[in-house]
Structure 1
Amino acid sequence: MHRIAVVAVPPVTAFDLAIPELVFGAAEVDGAPGYRVQVCTPEPGVVDTMGSLQVVVPHGLEALAEADTVMVTGSGARADADPRVLAALRAAAGRGARIASICTGAFVLAQAGLLDGRDAATYWVQEGALGHRHPAVRVRPGVLFVEDGPVLTSAGLTAGIDLCLHMIRTDHGAAVANAAARLTVATAVRHGGQGQTLRLPVASDDGGTSLSRTRGWALERLAEPLTLTGLAAHARVSVRTLNRRFLTEVGLSPLQWLLLQRIEHARELLESTGLPMEQVARRSGLGGADSLRRHLVQRVGMTPRAYRAAFARPATRVR
């Protein structure tokens, strides 16, 4: 079982602190829990938060000694994190543990020197402060999360969920990550490079109507030749309005969103079936085997055969 140590650096952001245990706790591999999560802090017991709440953290920093992944969640410790935390983080990184942060936890990683010379993300309101305090860090403005070698950083709140799902997908494949997303009622896939904030205003003629029904309709028809005109007709809007609402609601154009869903469906088919590549491509709506190969290499850096070899379930069969 993959062991994760979540470091609470007071004052903590309570929402962020809850994310890893909730999301990783929803990930099952062959019917068994895929992760063991321990929340720790320098002085176990009651820990102050950024708000009026207090939380009780049961474990000390010894939890980092055997962790495969160490995560620091949002914290108000911008320049004065506990030296014991910084030393423990350096030790974990030195022995090869994967290191991650959610939101302003990036400030703690930066204080430990673990972000020097690396790309990093944080909550968009604090990007300038992170770059000013730590000029050796290459702050990526506005993105949801960044993976730079063994170090991963994310923006705040729901971007932390995206990061955890990305890590599950990396560890165990798309099917496990998508199942965890369903259990946590989260969006299964959002690109790390997607913007944190919506740059387009909601048009006044949208009336607050969501395109979720149209997205659900499309997900049931990925193998079909879906078009902008067809999607717009289902949503009963113009193509122009369809594009505008998609960008507002999911941060992608309709065709970009469709391609992403098709790639994810292809990944699930590669993991859970023994279908030939041409059939995987057709069932996922990617056309042919060459198209499947091109898109999978671009998306995950692996050929379909390599991906199947890495993530196929033991009981895979053609169906």
Structure 2
Amino acid sequence: MPPAKNGLVCAIAYDGLCTFEFGIAVELFALPRPEIENWYRFATVAADDGPIAALGGFTIQVDAGLDLLQEASLIIVPGWRGADTPVPEALCKALRAAYDRGARIASICSGVFVLAAAGLLNGKSATTHWRYTDMLAQRYPEISVDPDVLFVEGDRVFTSAGSAAGLDLGLHIIRQDYGAQVAASVARRLVLPAQRDGGQRQFVPRPDPKPRTGSGLASLQDRIRASIDEDWPIERMASEAATSGRTLARRFHEEAGTTPLNWLKVERVSRAAELLENGSIPLSDVWEICGFGSAETFRREFRKMMGVPPIRYRERLGAPAA
């Protein structure tokens, strides 16, 4: 069905309920907003019998069962009790029936595995928390998994990245249903930006350098890191490693899984991110310290890899935009 004001939003509750993700659904769609005409109606729907145990040591009693999904305009799956935990067929069947009737279906974080199990993502794009993207892609090859974005929408099915990205997705849905001004008003009450820049790449931990043995590549990488502000063309790298450019490229491919110049680019962006997180070095100096050659190159490469401009990255982490 098309988005409708005063539509019924149903959030799925299950034993082992992800409390924060469920709270996102409640805060966005169940909180009374008398200043907005014809706001959503909200109901919690139990996927399991009996009291529902939620993370945090409390239980909730849910009166509505899966039959209510047939009246829903929007259904939200707020996480799931485990990526490896089977999804009850009764829940899958109810979600498919609601979708076939025209309802919109949305998942937050690991809730994507419920939508995948129900077959609602076959042939579609989807996302989830960066910890689960590889698992989702391997388990459901018919899904096009985008690991970088905060949320994905396609053919009345919505998926969000990690838990807090459920807020971004919910605001997106509100924007569709009530317009940008209302969505901005809801965001202000949540003390959030109406739209966040970039995707979840900016929050993925950078891997620690892997120890290298036997090839001499480790010592070269250490020398480059120690003078990363300098120019490091392939010829210099090969000379420092006492080898040819072709052999150096082969070693990087075998041990680092990339080319020497791509490795260098990642190292420079990683070093820049560390400096931006620290917050004590002026933004105008970071590109030179990291050897980017120009401020323009720095901004372009940082945004390409991290998903946001350097200044936004620093602001997101609460550091001063010096």
Q: Fold-level match, TM-score > 0.5?
A: yes
8 Å contact from structure 2 (residues 12, 46) kept in 1: yes
State the 1:187 CA deviation.
Answer: 2.2
Q: For the structure 1 residues 205 and 89, does the alpha-carbon distance in structure 2 shift closer, same or farther, using more than 3 Å as the test?
A: closer
Where does residue 53 of structure 1 map in the other structure? 57
Q: Secondary structure at the match of 2:51?
A: strand
Matching of residues 106-145 of structure 1 within 5 Å: 106-145=112-151
Matched, 1:188 2:194: yes
Aligned residues between the structures: 228
Listed one character per residue, the Cα deviations across residues 144-166 of structure 1 (whole Å, up to 9, x for unaligned) are 11111211100121101110001
1:55 is aligned with what amino acid?
T
Alpha-carbon separation, structure 2, partners of 1:173 and 1:205: 35
CA deviation map 1:129-156 (0-9, x unaligned) = 1112211111111321111121110012
Secondary structure at 2:24 match in 1? helix
- Matching of residues 7-46 of structure 1 within 5 Å: 7-25=12-30, 28=33, 31-32=36-37, 34-43=39-48, 45-46=50-51
Give me the whole-angstrom Cα distance separating, in 2, the residues matched to 1:101 and 1:62.
19
**Do 2:276 and 2:283's aligned partners in 1 also have CA atoms closer than 8 Å?**
no
CA deviations over 1:210-244 (Å, ceiling 9, x no partner) = xxxxxxxxxxxxxxxxxxxxxxxxxx945355988
* Distance in 2 between residues matched to 1:155 and 1:190, nearest whole Å: 13
- Could you tell me whether the CA contact under 8 Å between 2:76 and 2:105 is conserved in 1? yes
TM-score by length of 1: 0.62
The offset of 1:80, in angstroms, is 1.1
Distance of 2:277 and 2:132 partners within structure 1: 32
For structure 2, the residue ranges without an aligned partner over 5 or more in a row are 1-5, 207-269, 288-294, 314-322
Structure number with larger C-alpha Rg: 2
RMSD: 3.2
Secondary structure of 1:135's counterpart equals coil
Residue number in structure 2 paired with 1:239: 284
Change (3 A) 1:240 1:31: same
1:229 paired residue number = none
**2:128 partner SS:** coil
Please state whether the residue corresponding to 1:72 is helix, strand or coil: strand
Deviations 1:161-201 (A, max 9, x none): 11000111111111100110111122210257553625656
Higher mean displacement: 54-63 or 197-206: 197-206
The yes-or-no answer on 1:76 pairing with 2:81 is: yes
Specify the alignment match of 1:252 in structure 2: 308
Q: Letter of the aligned partner of 1:239 in structure 2?
A: S
Read off the aligned partner of 1:42 and give its amino acid letter: A
Distance 2:157 2:274 in 1: 38
